[in-house]
Amino acid sequence: MSIIVNEERRIFLLQTLHNSYAFGVDDQGLLRHLYWGNKIDAIDDFEMPVLAEVSTNDPVFEITREEFPVYGRLRYKEHCLKVTFADGCREVDYVYENYKIENHKDYDELIITLKDSHYDLYITLHYKVYGDFDLMERSVTLRNASQENMAIEQLQSAQFHIPYENLNFSNVHGHWGAEQQRFVQKVSYGKVVIENRRGISSHNHNPYFILDRDASETQGEVYFGALRRSGNFSGVVEQTPYGETLVQMGLNDHDFCYNLAPGEEFSAPAIICGYTNQGFETMSHHLHHFAQAFILDNDIRPVLYNSWEATGFGVTCEEQLKLAKKAKELGAELFVVDDGWFGERNGIKNGLGDWYVNKQKFPHGIDELIDEVKSLGMMFGIWVEPEMVNPPTKLYKEHPDWIYHFANRVSDTSREQYVLDMTREDVQQFVYQMLDDLLTSHDIDYIKWDANRPISQSNLDRSVWYKHIEAVYDIVKALKKKHPHVLFEACASGGGRIDYGILGIFDDFWTSDNTDACDRLTIQDSYSYIYPIKAMRAWVTDCPNFISNRDIPMRYRFHSAMMGTLGIGCNILKFSDEETKLAQEMIALYKEIRPIVQEGDFYRLENLSEDDYRSYEYLKDTKGLLFVFLSHTRIGHRPLTLKLRGLKKDTRYKLTYGDQEIHKSGAYLMERGIDLRLSGDYASELIFISEM
């Protein structure tokens, strides 16, 4: 049983394989948090502390560990819910009503219902317990059972109590071309806030929290949670004066208001959360396993060729046909035409919104290219940016009111485009129809859905921050229902759109426009803390790299990109015979190893050297891989001692690379490790592991 209840004492205990989470209802009907950490089986040991005021300046609500604090009464801390009722009252005051347990195939769910003491507002807290995954998923639903409107001004998905001070908080910062830059900072008194206010996506922070007590990859306590929502979010971490750290995460209340009509329900996004005392690796494994089991499909992702870096906007049918032939010769399985195939799209200024095939570029229509790609035995993919419109287009001229705008303000363009008001039904219908027509009239297998600017002049309805994303999700879901074979890639000026919300809706995710193989290792490393490897598209592109201006050997570039779902973005028509041969070999090799890469367990190995080695291990069933990189050799002749992880102690393993073959026990490989020395600049090695 993963949910245990002591009815008499009104205590709830949620049990996963290794952990427990406990809370209860006190004699005032208030939900009180009791515990989150390593497993405790005896529910009767949990006690409800007496609610007592310490001093008039430390009111009970401030010092009490509330499970779901609301705005109202003597509360000054961060709250999860603020509602304005029709009569202007801005306080919520709830009492516990009842609980229900539902047993599902994959999880058990505890549902707690609270009701406002005066108004007909019902608050339902959901706790889905994924016992085998050591994870929980929390969410909140509000229901207006009254005859009048209620304005939701803030709704956080959950509050978490972490019973420590001086924790380390980690997330990522970044910007275009530099996504997923992991940072760690000490939490002290006051608050740390990460958020997105851009409406669409953000490269700046990612909607998750990790709090640890000086944990390493393999040891130490880690509390974490990832929000299943795109667009605006906020996460607040607060070390209180009362000896604990609070975390809240959910919809950003910045400029937000949702009118909850009589009879209507509104839900906060779910947050997947967990605890481990085994360090970051276990945290990543729990999340990766969860995503693989419940969010992503089981299909292996194809090797992709994308023509963006080769041609930019200068797309022509003739050149695309040549690229397709060459891509096939190299071993690509999916050919994607990026931006520039439609409307009057010869640069960023025009085209978005006019989704007809450009006649100058494709005089005989785009099917000429699609048919050729298909006859070569590849899948065909196409780029779109459906939420946007350029001012000179027919679409904008016919529907100037379809963009987000304020009547008496200038609408800002960014990348020479406006954002369509996706909260309008006619706009939703247009976007759906355009994509449905594209997929119905052409044999397309893959849509790359881009979004290259944030929302501004966001319109009068302050629920836009929620509704825009909802519309995108709904359109993609509807398209997938009608065209189930089509894969959707989420992209937003590179990697601005990855989160646990879009992860369940789209299938493929562009990690960054920064395709420099060294920079990518940093980006991929951070990405892997939270996101599964199958959701990490990685391309090999030309050198010198357009962002870093760096020249990196092709072998290293391939090894770096083979750590995710492999794509090629080079101008392959310029490949020498030698480059063609190497690319063919690497792609063929990737096809052999990709089940291990895309579905195996991933390990960020410790660098025991003074040199800047990076090494990563993948394990699946009886096989595994080691990727080792050295960007720059320093003075000296020190080998790297590489200690493997996750092996079976008593099993013997064969490690092969180049003409080397090593036979060792799992215990030896994990405890003593192997010595390896790479030399030169941009050196890399791929080592194969197999059980003997």
Residues with active-site annotation: 450, 513
- Burial-class residue 410 by CB neighbours within 10 Å (0-12, 13-18, 19+): exposed
67 lines the binding site for ligand DGJ (CB under 6 A): no
Minimum CB distance to ligand DGJ, residue 569 (Å): 8
Length of the chain in terms of residues written: 692
Instruction: Convert residues 374-403 into a mask of x (bound to ligand DGJ by CB under 6 A) and - (unbound).
Output: ---------x--------------------
Q: Between residues 511 and 609, which has the closer beta carbon with respect to ligand DGJ?
A: 511
Unique residue bearing structure tokens 């025009």:
350
Nearer to ligand DGJ, 497 or 614 (CB): 497
Interface with ligand DGJ (CB under 6 A), residue from 281, 450, 508, 516: 450
Size of the site for ligand DGJ (CB under 6 A): 11
Q: How many other CB atoms sit within 10 Å of the CB of residue 305?
A: 28
Query: Contact 320/369 with Cβ under 8 angstroms?
Result: yes
- Report the candidate in 505, 525, 502 with the shortest Cα–Cα distance to residue 606: 525
- Cβ atoms of 288 and 280 within 8 Å: the answer is no
Please give the Cα distance from 595 to 300 (Å, whole number): 7
Residues 322-361 binding ligand DGJ (CB under 6 A) are 338-339
Indicate the residue among 284 and 565 with the shorter CB distance to ligand DGJ: 565
What are the phi and psi torsion angles at 468 (to 5°)? -60, -50
Q: Report the C-alpha gap between 502 and 231 in whole angstroms.
A: 10
Closest contact distance (angstroms) between CB of 37 and ligand DGJ is 41
Q: Which of residues 643-682 bind ligand DGJ (CB under 6 A)?
A: none
In the sheet with 304-306, reading across from the earlier edge strand, the strands are 508-509, 487-490, 446-449, 379-384, 334-337, 304-306, 565-568, 537-540
Residue nearest to ligand DGJ (CB): 339
Of 72 and 564, CB closest to ligand DGJ: 564
Q: Which of 386, 367, 394, 345 is nearest to 479 (CA)?
A: 386
Cβ neighbours for 277, distance < 8 A, ≥ 6 positions apart: 37, 38, 219, 220, 221, 222
Q: Which is nearer to ligand DGJ, 395 or 687 (CB)?
A: 395
Give 492 or 669: the residue with its C-beta nearer to ligand DGJ: 492
Question: Angle 657-660-662 (CA atoms, 0-180°, nearest 5)?
Answer: 95
- Rule CB under 6 A: choose which of 35, 275, 308, 446 binds ligand DGJ: 308
CB of 446 to ligand DGJ, least distance (A): 13
Least distance between ligand DGJ and beta carbon 309 (Å): 8
The residue among 163 and 314 lying less far from ligand DGJ, judged by its C-beta, is 314
Provide the minimum distance between the beta carbon of 553 and ligand DGJ in the complex, in angstroms, as a whole number.
24
Nearer to ligand DGJ, 308 or 590 (CB): 308
Q: How far apart are CA 295 and CA 226, in angstroms?
A: 13
Q: Which two tokens stand for residue 45?
A: 């040991």
Burial of 519 (0-12, 13-18, 19+ CB in 10 A): buried
Rg (the chain; Cα; Å): 27
- 3-class secondary-structure state, position 486: coil
In the region spanning residues 148 to 207, those forming contacts with ligand DGJ, defined by CB under 6 A, are: none
What part of residues 207-236 is at the interface with ligand DGJ (CB under 6 A)? none
Q: Are 74 and 62 in contact (CB under 8 A)?
A: yes
Minimal distance, residue 340 CB to ligand DGJ, in Å: 8
Contact between residue 172 and residue 226 where contact means Cβ atoms under 8 Å apart: no
Q: How far is the CB of 356 from ligand DGJ (least distance, A)?
A: 18
Buried b (16+ CB within 10 A) or exposed e, 200-230: bbbbbbbbbbbbbeebebeebbbbbbbbbbb
Residue 275 or 539: which CB sits closer to ligand DGJ? Answer: 539
- Which CB sits closer to ligand DGJ, 492 or 674? 492
Angle formed at CA 126 by CA 8 and CA 265, multiple of 5 degrees: 120
Site for ligand DGJ in 510-529 (CB under 6 A): 510, 513
Q: Which of residues 120-139 bind ligand DGJ (CB under 6 A)?
A: none
The secondary structure of the chain in percent helix, strand, coil, rounded to multiples of 5, reads 25, 35, 45
Instruction: Tell me how far, at minimum, the Cβ of 219 lies from ligand DGJ, in Å.
Output: 38
Interface map 261-300 toward ligand DGJ (x if CB under 6 A): ----------------------------------------
CB 540 within 8 Å of CB 567? yes
Q: Please state the closest distance from residue 308 (CB atom) to ligand DGJ, in A.
A: 5
Q: CA torsion sign, 183 to 186 to 190 to 191?
A: positive
Give the nearest distance from C-beta 573 to ligand DGJ in angstroms: 19
What is the H or E stretch that residue 319 is in?
Answer: helix 317-330
Residues 451-510 that bind ligand DGJ (CB under 6 A): 452, 491, 493-494, 510
Q: Which residues bind ligand DGJ (CB under 6 A)?
A: 308, 338-339, 383, 450, 452, 491, 493-494, 510, 513
